[in-house]
Amino acid sequence: MGRRFKLVTLLGIRPDIIRMHKLIRLLDRHQKRNGYEHLFAHTGQHYDYELDEVFYRQLGVRRPDVNLQVGKSLKRRGGPTTYVHQTALLFERLAEFLEEEKPDAVLYLGDTNTVLSSVIVARQGIPVIHIEGGGRSYDWRMPEEKNRIVIDHLSDMIYCYLPRYREILLREGVPPYRIKVAGNLIVDAVEAFMGRAERSPILKRLGLVPRRYLLFTLHREENTADRAALTRTVKELIGLTEQLRCPAVFPLMPRVRRLLEGWRLMPLLNRAEILVTEPLGFFEFLKLEKHAQLIISDSGTVQEEALILGTPCLVVRRSTERPETIAAGATILSEGRLRQEALRAIRTLNKWDRTILNPFRTSPSERIFTDLVGRIKTGFFKKSRSYAFIKSDRLIREAYGRTIRRAVGAS
């Protein structure tokens, strides 16, 4: 018997585990019957308990088979931990892992530093699969925009959330046979866990009344890269809670807490009516999202969850790769006018279609699972790389002058 197709799922950060909880289970459960082997690997980009372990426990996701321990190793070394060091170590560890495991394809999600390592996978001649493809903010200042473009153009197969993303990829010259629209995976996560989230006592524990508090999260580079930007945002948030006479909850990522402490902004926050917490579990956070008067966040996933849950959301960014939430009337971009736009969001964002993130009736995880397994079984990852297949592509025919010659011959 031949060797079974070996599929590696490689994830790196908190929302990856949340979005992929169902697909990982499906890929695990049905491997033998469909003649493939599924390995789950983690790069270790996020490694703190609150950003990693808590999600396996709460969401019932099994632990990864392999952890490349990139974040922890850098921390142990005590040296610099910029994205450059992170990426360099990730590339090195991933190359060793690929050498050992020799996978037949590597499955990625999203636009993180983890997905940048697809360069190594593609360079080794191994097919790359990308979920969340085609998202573009068209804001070239955004680090994640580069990651998105790199991985999409290295991928053998791309799963998009919405038809619009497919159009974007086609416009960029990605051949249609590499693209499939599946709906947004976050829909599966909210649907699966909202019931349990509602039972969380978090509102009581924090002394909050539904629709009478704000919820903040901040972590993106454009808000945290320099002291002036972070100070401005923190002051605006404090000003807003004072103006509305409304408390706020602000779970801090460890990196952001270090910045706030280093730049002496914690005393400001502590004096205000802002409950600063550690990063919260998914159930607790979902419940806070559902019952907040307004969410103010620079997270793409929070932006989507707010739409599904029916809570207005101010996106503290200059641009977004998920403009569908704005078009739906569920979010507003702050574009540097945080307080003003927050007040507008509370006044104007009201009712919208909460189903737009999944244009299908079926579960996005199930759609990806069924399609991917079908491709594994029918040899897509080999066939789509054959010359006979590649030759049929319109752009390639044009590049080799075939279409032109035929057109000339016909005239």
Question: Which helix (H) or strand (E) covers residue 274, if one does?
Answer: strand 274-277
The full 3-state SS of 119-155, as one line of letters, equals HHHHHCCCCEEEEEECCCCCCCCCHHHHHHHHHHHHC
- 282 touches ligand UDP by CB under 6 A: yes
Per-residue contact string for residues 287-316; x = within reach of ligand UDP by CB under 6 A: ------------xxxx--x-----------
Place of tokens 């590696």: 8
Nearer to ligand UDP, 9 or 31 (CB): 9
- 285 touches ligand UDP by CB under 6 A: yes
Place of tokens 């809570």: 311
- In this structure, the dihedral spanned by the alpha carbons of residues 40, 44, 48 and 51, taken in order and rounded to 10 degrees, is -60
Contact predicate 26/33, CB 8 Å: no
The residue range among 11-19, 98-106, 153-161, 163-171 that interacts with ligand UDP, by the rule CB under 6 A, is 11-19
The residue range among 13-21, 98-106, 150-158, 341-349 that interacts with ligand UDP, by the rule CB under 6 A, is 13-21
CA 164 → CA 173, 298, 359, distances in Å?
Answer: 15, 22, 11
Per-residue contact string for residues 182-221; x = within reach of ligand UDP by CB under 6 A: -----------------------------------x-x--
Number of residues that bind ligand UDP (CB under 6 A): 16
Nearer to ligand UDP, 44 or 251 (CB): 251
- 103 touches ligand UDP by CB under 6 A: no
Nearer to ligand UDP, 17 or 272 (CB): 17
- 280 touches ligand UDP by CB under 6 A: yes
Q: For the chain, how many residues are written?
A: 411
Q: How far is the CB of 334 from ligand UDP (least distance, A)?
A: 15
Q: How far apart are CA 113 and CA 27, in angstroms?
A: 24
- 151 touches ligand UDP by CB under 6 A: no
Contact predicate 21/192, CB 8 Å: yes
Nearer to ligand UDP, 322 or 367 (CB): 322
Nearest to 251, CA basis, from 314, 199, 299 = 299
Nearest to 308, CA basis, from 171, 230, 192 = 192
Nearer to ligand UDP, 38 or 287 (CB): 287
Residues 241-270 that bind ligand UDP (CB under 6 A): 251
Contact predicate 129/160, CB 8 Å: no
Nearest to 286, CA basis, from 191, 194, 207, 215 = 194
- 279 touches ligand UDP by CB under 6 A: yes
The residue range among 132-140, 274-282, 325-333, 361-369 that interacts with ligand UDP, by the rule CB under 6 A, is 274-282
The residue range among 29-37, 224-232, 278-286, 347-355 that interacts with ligand UDP, by the rule CB under 6 A, is 278-286
Question: Known catalytic residues?
Answer: 219
Q: How far apart are CA 180 and CA 87, in angstroms?
A: 29
- Which position among 8, 10, 17, 18 is part of the footprint of ligand UDP (CB under 6 A)? 18
Which amino acid belongs to residue 183? G
Q: How far is the CB of 219 from ligand UDP (least distance, A)?
A: 6
Q: How far apart are CA 240 and CA 244, in angstroms?
A: 6
Positions that interact with ligand UDP (CB under 6 A): 14-15, 18, 217, 219, 251, 279-280, 282, 285-286, 299-302, 305
